[in-house]
């Protein structure tokens, strides 16, 4: 089952994150009518989508997942460009006379930085999400072989929804008591970047992936209106945020799951547009856009510093174009060839 219409949503989520990091002071993103749309919830969407795609990708064979083969394929998918981004960032820090925290290097190279509170935001800051993905990847063969393949959908759904609810209660409690502000950055990093705090989002993605398998044949139709309605609900929740709802840690995960499910079931105009090969390619290159955003920004700033200070608006849009082009080149000529080579080993 190929769901090309979902691929472009990865590109949109990546751009939202880039704007959140670098463009909130740049028109039109400063306008009150849209500024609230650009937040860090794009990462939460990525985590839910990751869980969803894992189910779709590995359920089609009807076989048990072989852990070693699975881990090799996942490594081939994410590590080459992750390593390039990490080395690029280290080089830019050296070039800009920024001290490289040597104690953080082993954790970053092993994608373990988010497990240790002092390190998730050191060096290439966006790499913390890959440290979280490692937990997802390590757990998935067990979840797929021992739980999803053995238990009824109702049992799986109750277990996952209870886990999500408990995780949100914990996140909300810690956030509302300002626990995350004590002894910074340790508590803050544990609350927002510690991998188990995000596991609920991956599980929600798994659940909605299983739901798609149970509903695709009966409910595949034109759902354009429902896609737009769910996006409107999302926009409203971003503008009028629920007090103590930890959006960063999966508060919107179920809503994102429904959006992904409905887009997957949709065969209307929205999906047909998203299936265009250019949009699909941009979606495939989105991982590079996300993971390379910081070193590319620093490199462009270093090269064009006067341009950055005199024309910050134009600088940002040039940066977006350069970042997209570099990510596309990386996907076509680095990520894809290396992935194929590693999988053949």
pLDDT of residue 61: 72
pLDDT of residue 182: 57
Tokens 């680095």, located at residue? 334
Considering only CA atoms, which of 293, 290, 317 is closest in space to residue 11? 290
Q: Read off the pTM.
A: 0.95
How wide is the angle at C-alpha 257 spanned by C-alphas 285 and 49, nearest 5°? Answer: 25
CA 332 to chain centre: 20
pLDDT of residue 195: 97
pLDDT of residue 62: 74
Helix axes 286-303, 4-22, angle to 10 degrees: 30
210 C-beta neighbours (distance < 10 Å), count: 19
The CA-based dihedral angle spanning residues 298, 302, 305, 311, taken in that order and rounded to the nearest 10 degrees: -40
Decide: 160 and 207 in contact? Cβ < 8 Å.
Answer: yes
- Number of structural domains (the chain) is 1
pLDDT of residue 244: 85
Per-residue pLDDT of the chain (345 residues; tens, 9 = 90+): 678 999 999 999 999 999 999 999 999 999 999 999 998 899 999 999 999 999 999 987 778 999 999 999 999 999 999 999 999 999 999 998 999 999 999 999 999 999 998 899 999 999 999 999 999 999 999 999 999 999 999 999 999 999 999 999 999 988 887 666 656 667 888 889 999 999 999 999 999 999 999 999 999 999 999 999 999 999 999 999 998 889 999 999 999 999 999 999 999 999 999 999 999 999 999 999 999 999 999 999 999 999 999 999 999 999 999 999 999 999 999 999 998 898 888
What domain range includes position 197? 4-344
- Distance (Å, whole) CA 325 – CA 212: 34
- Distance (Å, whole) CA 80 – CA 83: 5
């Amino acid at each position: 089952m190929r769901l090309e219409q979902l691929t472009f949503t990865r590109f949109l989520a990546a751009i939202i994150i880039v704007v959140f990091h670098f463009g909130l002071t740049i028109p039109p993103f400063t306008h009150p009518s849209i500024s609230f749309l650009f937040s860090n919830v794009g990462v939460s969407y990525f985590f839910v989508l990751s869980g969803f795609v894992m189910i779709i990708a590995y359920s089609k064979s009807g076989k048990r997942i072989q852990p070693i083969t699975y881990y090799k394929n996942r490594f081939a998918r994410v590590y080459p460009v992750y390593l390039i981004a990490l080395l690029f960032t280290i080089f830019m820090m050296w070039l800009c006379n920024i001290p490289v925290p040597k104690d953080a290097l082993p954790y970053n190279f092993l994608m373990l930085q988010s497990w240790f509170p002092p390190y998730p935001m050191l060096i290439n800051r966006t790499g913390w999400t890959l440290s979280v993905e490692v937990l997802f990847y390590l757990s998935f063969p067990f979840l797929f072989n021992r739980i999803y393949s053995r238990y009824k959908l109702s049992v799986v759904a109750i277990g996952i929804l209870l886990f999500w609810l408990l995780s949100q209660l914990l996140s909300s409690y810690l956030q509302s008591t300002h626990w995350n502000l004590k002894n910074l950055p340790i508590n803050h990093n544990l609350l927002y970047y510690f991998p188990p705090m995000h596991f609920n989002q991956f599980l929600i993605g798994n659940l909605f992936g299983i739901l798609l398998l149970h509903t695709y044949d009966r409910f595949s139709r034109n759902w354009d209106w429902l896609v737009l309605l769910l996006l409107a609900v999302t926009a409203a929740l971003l503008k009028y945020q629920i007090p103590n709802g930890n959006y960063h840690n999966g508060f919107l995960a179920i809503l994102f799951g429904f959006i992904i499910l409905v887009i997957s079931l949709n065969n209307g105009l929205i999906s047909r547009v998203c299936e265009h090969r250019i949009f699909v390619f941009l979606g495939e290159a989105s991982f590079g856009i996300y993971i390379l955003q910081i070193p590319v920004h620093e490199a462009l700033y270093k090269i064009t510093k006067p341009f950055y200070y005199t024309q910050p608006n134009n600088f940002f849009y040039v940066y977006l174009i350069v970042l997209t082009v570099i990510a596309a080149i990386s996907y076509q000529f680095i990520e894809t060839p290396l992935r194929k080579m590693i999988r053949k080993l």
